[in-house]
Amino acid sequence: MSEEFDYIIVGAGGSGAVLAARLSENPAHRILVLEAGPADRSLYIRMPAGFVKTVGNPKYVTNYQTKPTELTGGRAINLLQGRVVGGGTSVNGMAYNRGQPHDFDNWARAGNPGWSHADLLPIFMELEGREGGDPIWRGRSGPLKVTDVAWKSPVLDAFIEGCVENGIPRNADINGPDQFGVAFTQANIAKGKRVSAATAFLRPALSRPNLVLRTGLRASRVLLSEGRATGVEVIGPDGSARILARGEVILCAGAIGSPHLLQVSGIGRAEDLASAGICPVHDLPGVGQGLRDHYMVSLIAEGRNFTSINQYAAPPRLWFEALKWMVGGSSILGMPVALLHYFMKSGLNGDETDIQGIFTPASNRFSASGKLEQEIGMTCAIWQHRPTSTGHVRALSPDITVLPEVQPNYLADEIDRHVLISACRQTRAILRSAAMKPFFLRETGPSAGAETDDEWLSFARETGSTVFHPCSTLRMGPRSNGNAVVGHDLKVHGLAGLRVADSSIMPDIPSANTAASAMVIGAKAAKLITKR
């Protein structure tokens, strides 16, 4: 006999964790959360610097390698996505960036009432517990703690001054009314520990008897009957089983996982499904289309006259840092990936802030191994906010365990290439500023020899990677928009009992790291379902 719940949430990541916590506030609702990955119990998840141990670990992430193109130098890019309770918020760099107000106003203008910045700001505020900030813009009492990097180093002060020299002002709050400028990173860290969607929302809610979390179970198919989702089929260590939903099935499996699950369930572009050996059940051409992601390049430099994280991360200093972290002191083990964030304008999109950068006094930190160099080092990673290049996610088999084809088409649009070149030139100017002169020795990475636009583009093609922010593969919009998959109520067009509530529904990529927006989508979905 099949189990039955009122709501089945597929995915315990940022959006799913918040959604489950909010829905379970009503004791009349019996809710099941399915997570394909394991529990988030590892010390490396709690420890912010443990990022280097988890982000490439197949126990906690799935590597959806992208399809190579000429514009990525014929390389597949490792597009990692969290597969653990908390999802990306358990393995990411912990940066908390909402985006710019007009990001969300554009969502609303695309035919999605209720999704403007004015609509979403109160939700952002009720989720977050921010230390400081304008109370008109920032929430103080929410469970999602947001703190500023408190690490002191002369090179950080110098980099800020270098930004100011180059027309990038200090910004008291990059999550306030204007994002343009430079500031210490705002991060989901409290008392030296990572604050994930799981620790902030899901785990406290699991004390409620009406909320059930099951790990190690993967949804393999959405069950459909007469135009309605009736449950899910799951696979796990004990084989397959069916779980029924009296109310709704809600997909929170991410911008790759959610469209893939719909496709293997027979929902998507009919011809694509048929070519993968999948029997089409509901022809919905937008499923898996419109993929966008942030494409990043890193400028690496050797430094001098300061102690970089390279030195702190080597014994015996590392042992002292570990001791400080264990007793709750300030330590490199309690810091996010980036210590500074800076937001720039290319001038190619009017007066719009269209570039994001991060600065860390460490080098090789962004390599696959996470191993740092022995020399004093620093790294700037930069990307375009809202790329216009789009791609797809496409199932290759009816078997959910066969990874789909993922093609973001990085740098396919010419404007994306020019904005990234501008980002590189501006960042080099900051590194070579008068303020940075006492600390900057020379560029040491592959960017060092780039001067012309063609050389910068070659550098980007051969070395660029992703910031792991895929979105927009099940875009929200009115049914009259042939590319839309869900309406502003997040219901899948043409099917009952089925919603999507994760980064896949974003009509466009926000000008920020996507974790904050994903959590707000989960909270907004709960309001839509409960009509609060």
Give the sign of the dihedral formed by CA 283, CA 289, CA 290, CA 291.
positive
Distance (Å) of CA 227 to CA 266, 275, 499: 12, 23, 13
Find the radius of gyration of the CA atoms of the chain.
22
If 0-12 CB within 10 Å is exposed, 13-18 middle and 19+ buried, where does residue 177 land? Answer: exposed
Tell me the C-alpha distance between 501 and 18, whole Å: 10
Helix (H, G, I), strand (E, B) or coil at 495: coil
Catalytic residue among 418, 469, 488, 493: 469
Chain CA centroid to CA 152, Å: 27
Question: Would you call 469 a catalytic residue per the annotation?
Answer: yes
DSSP-assigned letter for residue 264? H
Tell me the C-alpha distance between 501 and 10, whole Å: 10
Tell me the C-alpha distance between 417 and 76, whole Å: 18
Contact (Cβ atoms closer than 8 angstroms) between residue 522 and residue 492: no
Structure tokens at 199: 């620790």
Tell me the backbone φ, ψ of residue 169, rounded to 5 degrees: -75, 160
Helix (H, G, I), strand (E, B) or coil at 144: strand
Contact (Cβ atoms closer than 8 angstroms) between residue 85 and residue 205: no
DSSP string, 171-226: -S-TTSS---EEEEPEESEETTEE--HIIIIIHHHTTSTTEEEEES-EEEEEEEET
Contacts of 434 (CB under 8 A, 6+ apart): 162, 165
* Residue 256, H or E segment: helix 254-264
Exposure string over 74-90, b if 16+ CB within 10 A, otherwise e: ebebbbbbbbbbbbbbb
Which residues does residue 182 pair with via DSSP β-bridges, in sequence order?
170, 342
- Cα torsion for 352, 296, 159, 337, to the nearest 10°? 120
Nearest of 351, 354, 253 to residue 36 by alpha carbon: 253
- Residue 78 has, within 13 A of its CA and on its CB side, a CA count of 14
Q: Which residues are catalytic?
A: 469
